């Protein structure tokens, strides 16, 4: 069974309007990371920073940097 993203992280991504983009990019660019590994991050900033390589995504670096710093 797949692990769900920690509620506090999911809620913030939903509030910022980027949950679907985040999950899509994580699935495509996770490079062996698991959802459990994401849930081990202590802060939202760490989560977004560590989930995937921002420049590989359609949204690019600046978008995810702004999300991480929200």
What tens digit of pLDDT does each residue of 17-51 get?
A: 999 999 999 999 878 788 899 999 999 999 999 99
Predicted pLDDT of residue 55: 94
pTM for the full model? 0.90
Give me the domain span that covers residue 46: 7-68
Q: How many domains are contained in the chain?
A: 1
Rg of the chain over Cα atoms, rounded to whole angstroms, equals: 11
And the tokens for 47? 């989560």
Q: Is residue 24 part of a domain?
A: yes
Q: Is residue 2 part of a domain?
A: no
Q: Is residue 1 part of a domain?
A: no
Predicted pLDDT of residue 1: 42
Q: Is residue 61 part of a domain?
A: yes
d(CA 36, CA 17): 22
Predicted pLDDT of residue 39: 93
Q: What is the pLDDT of residues 6-19, one digit of tens each?
A: 999 999 999 999 99
């Amino acid at each position: 069974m797949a692990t769900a993203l920690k509620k506090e992280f999911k809620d913030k991504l939903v509030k910022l309007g980027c949950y679907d983009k985040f999950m899509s990019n994580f699935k495509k660019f996770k490079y062996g990371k698991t959802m459990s590994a994401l849930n081990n991050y202590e802060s939202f900033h760490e989560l977004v920073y560590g989930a995937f390589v921002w420049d590989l995504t359609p949204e690019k670096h600046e978008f995810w940097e702004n999300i991480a710093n929200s």
